[in-house]
Amino acid sequence: MDALTPFRIPMSALKADSESFDWVVGPEFFAVFDDEHQPPRGNFKVLMELERTGLVVSLDFDIKGSLLTTCDRCMVPIDMKVENQFLLIVKFGDPEESTDEVLFIDSEAPELNVGKSIYDFILLSIPISHRIPDCETLENPPCDMTIVNYLNENKVEEKLPEEPGALWDELRKAIDN
């Protein structure tokens, strides 16, 4: 069985006025798309609302889940909440004309596979910085507070030159030598 079979939307659904779909995806789902990298660890619930207006189909994706990762500040394993929404517009036409915002599909196609879009949307939902915001204010912080306190106490303040031309003067001296 094809791993992406649950993500294939039949063309009959695209002709309906509205319909809902939901999936739960985990590391096995990510492994289908990228076997060269370690897939994200965690589970995500994806709710997709399909609405058709004339020849345009709107797919609203609501992604919620948690990512098991390591905190970038204290290196402790954390369960980071992830939540985001995306809109994908589907039109009938030449698939070569597809863009990031509008997906064109052949009107003779039997189905639309949204698996790759879900994969991309989940990856886009994962923040670059893996940490729980303001974890030190939580009642039971998941982070190692000794490290967080150490980092807060030993912040390095970046000092800028007092006058804007001072930096350029240093560069001019380097060029003149």
Give the pLDDT band (50/70/90) at residue 53.
confident
Across residues 42-56, what is the average pLDDT? Answer: 92
Across residues 139-157, what is the average pLDDT? Answer: 83
Mean model confidence pLDDT for the chain: 86
Q: For the whole model, what pTM was predicted?
A: 0.78
Beta strand spans in 12-97 (E): 18-25, 41-53, 56-70, 77-92
Across residues 120-131, what is the average pLDDT? Answer: 91
Q: What is the pLDDT of residue 165?
A: 67
For residues 168 and 32, give the distance between their C-alpha atoms in angstroms, rounded to a whole number.
Answer: 51
